[in-house]
Structure 1
Amino acid sequence: MYLTIQPIDFHRELTDDQSASEQVEDKNPTPISQISQCKTGWTIQGIVTNKTNTHYYKTSRGEGTLFSFDLLDEADEIRATAFNSDCSRFFPIIEIGQTYSLTKATVKPVNR
């Protein structure tokens, strides 16, 4: 399973006086193992363990750019993918080794 980040919200937006390395903490995050396509209103929190470069894609439905990152909580890991404007918005912010909270993302099974 992976997250499609379109749209995406950080639990707390970074402001001009905050650095991307500051950790975002949610008091009651949902464990990654408990999110699903049917469940809404969740926030997950985890540390970024991997981040891809941006990639160009072209399909029958359109074209654009994307990048992915892996988010690890206390027990599970999930891959999040940001497309197009979200790719441009979040690629410079997401850093390996930093903790982020994500909400309002779409959960989809992995295409294999």
Structure 2
Amino acid sequence: MMKTNPTNTGIYAFHVLRQIGLSAGSMRKLDRYRHRQEKLGATVMVLSWPDGTWCVLAFYAGPLAVGIVALDDYHKRGLYEDACMMIRDNYLPMLTLRHAAYH
């Protein structure tokens, strides 16, 4: 993989995965993951980076979120590193991020 800035992240709707030509088996697994996560209240999206690294992210924003998702650089870096590791180890990069409220 080329050296990339992990904070330079593209965020896309799940349906873009159908355009990139994944195998039918991989798409079935990703569809099941998306449906399961959406039933539990997550927003499911695709993140990608300029070097070709990508992941499917189930984001649990909590009850106060209204269709808006924002990821800070810390989380983008972590997601990038996890996705790289999963791809390297031949796993579909399906990740979860939960909102945590700190008082």
Larger helix percent: 2
What TM-score, normalized to structure 1?
0.33
Q: Looking at both structures, which has the greater relative contact order when contacts are Cα pairs under 8 Å and sequence separation is at least 6?
A: 1
What TM-score, normalized to structure 2?
0.35
